[in-house]
Amino acid sequence: NGVEVVVNCAGLVRGSAMEAVHTHGTEKLLKAANAAGVRRLVHVSALGASASGETHFQRTKGAGEEVLRAHPVGTLPEICVLRPSIIVGRGGASTAMFAALAALPIRPVIAAGAMQPIHICDVAELVVRLVENSDQLPRFLDVTGAEPLDINAVVNMFGCWLRLSSCPRMSMPGALLTGIAVFGGFFASGPLNRETLFMLRRGNTANPAAVTQILGRPPLPLAEALGRTPASVADRQSARLYFLQPLLRISLAL
């Protein structure tokens, strides 16, 4: 009660609660916002979300979008659904994984589709401009970075950000990557599992023109966005320990 704007960033990339969070949670949030007279609801979904999607993540996110799509235009709350590609920034799960791949003694070369990562600072500024804008909000808005990149280019940029010296590279066999994703799905808490691997291989890109218009400038290129907050010694240490964390926990227990 008394809240004018709600920004819903709730989301999961694994586990049985995705439907509860992405679909039923969105439905309950819209109902509560409607009852409280909330003026604007900005909902963070995902690029590629669809009720008929190929992964559980895409389907549950897509079902949440359908709930908001059915809300009548011209009634409160006014709704804007953001559909971002991968969001990067210090503290993010995807960022930690990219940095960890860059910090490996032998950097893997992974076959995957193109993505358009966008920095969290651009996403935050976009949300602020949408909230403060007096014009009618777009109902759906694809949120992507300035240019399509493959995962290897992204990992190399994180290597530069961490100020790591050059290292040998090795092509990652698809079967090995699938095995790591399956293992991650059962035992790890990071962002890599079978579903996220499928989406990584499929890729997701979109035209950043609408984001550029709202921001009044193009989204920051990834290398420039990372460079605005230089990596510290702690960032490098965290990246080097990322894949060792399960072993370190087991060693402590032993």
Whole-number Å distance between alpha carbons of 36 and 30: 10
Whole-number Å distance between alpha carbons of 85 and 93: 14
Whole-number Å distance between alpha carbons of 101 and 103: 5
Whole-number Å distance between alpha carbons of 63 and 20: 11
Q: Specify the residue for token string 């979109």.
A: 206
Sign of the CA dihedral running 20, 25, 26, 30 = positive
Note the pLDDT of residue 3.
Answer: 96
Note the pLDDT of residue 27.
Answer: 97
Note the pLDDT of residue 95.
Answer: 93
Q: Is it true that the peptide bond before 77 is cis, omega within 30 degrees of 0?
A: yes
Q: Specify the residue for token string 């669809």.
A: 50
CA distances from 155 to 111, 169, 224, 252 (A): 13, 12, 14, 30
Selection from 115, 89, 114, 124 nearest residue 235 by Cα: 89
Note the pLDDT of residue 137.
Answer: 93
Mean pLDDT by 10 residues, the chain (254 residues): 95 90 97 96 95 91 97 94 95 90 92 92 96 91 95 95 92 77 63 73 90 96 94 95 86 93
CA angle 9, 47, 33 (to 5 degrees): 35
What SS3 state is found at 228?
coil
